[in-house]
Amino acid sequence: MNGRLTSAQPYALGLFRMVVGLLFACHGAASLLGLFGGKDGNGGTVAAGAWPNWYAAVIELVGGTLVLLGLATRAAAFIASGAMAYAYFKVHQPQALWPIENHGEGAAMYCWAMFLLVFTGSGAFGLDRLLARRASARESRPAEQTPVAV
């Protein structure tokens, strides 16, 4: 049983990454573009350039999309994790100590989920892995030898 679960780990990690990235990108799309009911439930968006909401929405949309695709996963997840840590400690934590009391469960969960992806990478199904495979195949091909004319 343990061997089967271990062999499926890259696939489970890839699915985890895709779900977390999709949900994170949807959160950013709601705030930035007014999709899925928008920020206020009526299609509203955050004001362009407003600190920190607009910047957080950009990080959520772009970072979530990169994580979803598995492209630059570690860097995108690092920035997203930091943004969610900032959101938790600056927005939620001053209201109460525990996430359940200050409504910061989402920020805390996204922070730790993205932090995990910093260390694990994209897993299966990611563009990072596909690009790395192509690069290693290119490097392993013997270089063409052309005669040198004197």
Is the per-residue pLDDT at 131 higher than 60? yes
3-state secondary structure of 12: helix
Is the per-residue pLDDT at 146 higher than 70? no
**Which tens digit of pLDDT belongs to each residue from 63-84?**
999 999 999 999 999 999 999 9
71 vs 122: CA distance, rounded Å: 8
Q: Torsion angle, CA of 4/6/9/10, rounded to 10 degrees?
A: -100
Q: What is the mean pLDDT of residues 102-121?
A: 96
Percent of residues, the chain, with pLDDT higher than 90: 70
pTM: 0.86
pLDDT at res. 129: 86
pLDDT at res. 137: 82
pLDDT at res. 33: 93
Q: How many Cα atoms sit within 13 Å of 126 on the Cβ side?
A: 29
**Which tens digit of pLDDT belongs to each residue from 89-108?**
999 999 999 999 999 999 99
φ and ψ at 97, to 5 degrees? -75, -45
